[in-house]
Amino acid sequence: AQKVTQAQTEISVVEKEDVTLDCVYETRDTTYYLFWYKQPPSGELVFLIRRNSFDEQNEISGRYSWNFQKSTSSFNFTITASQVVDSAVYFCALSGQGNTGKLIFGQGTTLQVKP
């Protein structure tokens, strides 16, 4: 069975603080994809990143960075110097090779960045 766990339900930080959102996944597939999405109050999902299981390089995009570690089945997301506009719900998701591409979402982490 495939599963994604985001243990942090809610996180509150003050602007300019760094914050890391945790994601742990379970799958028996050897080929799979991991995703992060942002869901602002409007509800529309915003794609942030996709990683395939063969690429463990960490990625940085502006203030965002991702740490993918297969050894611990984790795909954590860090926002550096957080801003109020980062306030949203963040979802980690998994897509395996044998499941026709459907996404398994974690429970989501609500991030509140206070000014």
Partner 1 sequence: GAVVSQHPSWVICKSGTSVKIECRSLDFQATTMFWYRQFPKQSLMLMATSNEGSKATYEQGVEKDKFLINHASLTLSTLTVTSAHPEDSSFYICSARTSGSPEQYFGPGTRLTVT
Count the neighbouring beta carbons within 10 Å of the beta carbon of residue 75.
Answer: 26
Q: Is 73 left (phi over 0), alpha (psi -120 to 50) or beta?
A: left
Q: Is 76 in the site for partner 1 (CB under 8 A)?
A: no
| Residue carrying structure tokens 């206070």 | 114
The amino acid occupying position 44 is E
Q: Is 106 in the site for partner 1 (CB under 8 A)?
A: yes
Among 52, 69, 72, 83, binds partner 1 (CB under 8 A): 52
Can you say how many angstroms the Cα of residue 75 is from the centroid of all Cα atoms in its chain? 7
Among 16, 50, 63, 70, binds partner 1 (CB under 8 A): 50
# residues near partner 1 by CB under 8 A = 20
One symbol per residue from 17 to 46: x for binding partner 1 (CB under 8 A), - otherwise; what is it? ----------------x---x----xxxx-
Q: Is 95 in the site for partner 1 (CB under 8 A)?
A: yes
- The answer to whether 89 touches 22, Cβ cutoff 8 Å, is no
Return residues touching partner 1 (CB under 8 A): 33, 37, 42-45, 47, 50, 52, 91, 95, 100-108
